[in-house]
Amino acid sequence: MSDLDFNRIKEIFELAVKEDINGGDITTTAIFKDYKSIRADLLCKENGIIAGLEVIKLITENFLRDVEFFSFYNDGYEIHPGDFIGTFTGDVREILKYERILLNFLQRMSGVATLTNKFVKQVKGTKAKILDTRKTIPGWRYLDKLAVKIGGGENHRFGLYDMFLIKDNHIFASGGIKQAINLCKEYNSIHKTNYKIEVEVKNLLELKEAIECGVDRVMLDNFSIDSIKDAVKLIDGKVEVEVSGGVNLDTIKEIAECGVDYISVGAITHSAKALDISLEIIE
């Protein structure tokens, strides 16, 4: 994946090394005094979508000494119990020292991609796209959002700095939807920026006001199915429509069939279960 952000991955990897290895792997150092060549295979133990292989390759090539990694799959492929995902060859000391860090990266990213893909499959046949949120592991947002894309989802804003998202607390504290929207437009004008403006609405009255003010997208927060249908009719293609709240694998298909553009799902990052993958020394 040529568009990997090397510096972000380096930063995350170095933090992992600092907290896990710090002064050194004393067990491995005590047992293995000298170089010893081994082969260790990554084994899949449950169904899922593999993600993070390109990240593992980048880390191995740039930060591990005397170790090579070869993967048998590409990111985004379905894997099943018993599948051999990839193999490490090289110095036993390096492989054992970094084993848990590399598995953490691979298991976490694959878990996020797998859960994302389940939601994506549920909305197949509709125009709805699955979006992530900012509900990510602190420090891990880049990799969480990368895993979402590998699973077939799309990224919402990366942070507070790349898009206006006016939520209920902004509206209450600023004096209303119109005031908040106008202040964001004023910011764009003063700073000569062109950040998109999205506003969260709680009901059809707020929705109508947001449309009249002129925004790029509205977020329907915890709307019922009937209210979503009414909102889509009212919007009539004037702005993009995103639904948030009350979204799970049982409800998402019905939401998507209402004709919305996006459905944001916090669960794909804050509740993703790590995929069961192990590293086994073969020879």
CA distance 154 to 120: 10
pLDDT for residue 68 is more than 70: yes
pLDDT for residue 125 is more than 80: yes
- Tell me what pLDDT residue 1 has: 45
- Residue of 132, 189, 135, 197 lying closest to 171 (CA atoms): 197
Q: What is the domain partition of the chain in residue ranges?
A: 6-112+273-281, 121-270
The CATH architecture of the domain made up of 121-270 is Alpha-Beta Barrel (3.20)
Residues sharing a CB contact under 8 Å with residue 200, sequence separation 6 or more, in sequence order: 165, 166, 167, 168, 171, 218, 219, 221, 244
Identify whether the C-beta of residue 78 lies closer than 8 Å to the C-beta of residue 48: yes
Token code pair at residue 193: 């920026």
Buried (b) or exposed (e) across 106-128, using 16+ Cβ within 10 A?
Answer: bbbbbbbbbbbbbbbebbeebeb
pLDDT for residue 209 is more than 50: yes
Question: Directed axis angle between helix 204-213 and helix 225-235, to 10°?
Answer: 20
* pLDDT band at 283; cut points 50, 70, 90: confident
pLDDT for residue 136 is more than 50: yes
Paired sense of beta strands 217-221 and 197-201, if any? parallel
| C-alpha of 70 from chain center | 25
Report the pLDDT averaged over residues 265-277.
Answer: 98
Residues annotated as part of the active site: 100, 135, 167, 200, 221
- Tell me what pLDDT residue 3 has: 87
Phi, psi of 17 (to 5 degrees): -65, -45
User: What letter represents residue 69's amino acid?
Assistant: F
Q: In the predicted model, what is the mean pLDDT of the chain? A: 97
Radius of gyration of the chain (CA): 23
What is the tens place of the pLDDT at every residue in 187-204?
Answer: 999 999 999 999 999 999
- DSSP code, position 176: S
* pLDDT band at 53; cut points 50, 70, 90: very high
Report the pLDDT averaged over residues 132-142.
Answer: 97
The CATH architecture of the domain made up of 6-112+273-281 is Alpha-Beta Complex (3.90)
What is the side-by-side order of every strand in the sheet holding 37-44?
A: 67-71, 84-91, 37-44, 277-281
- Tell me what pLDDT residue 2 has: 54
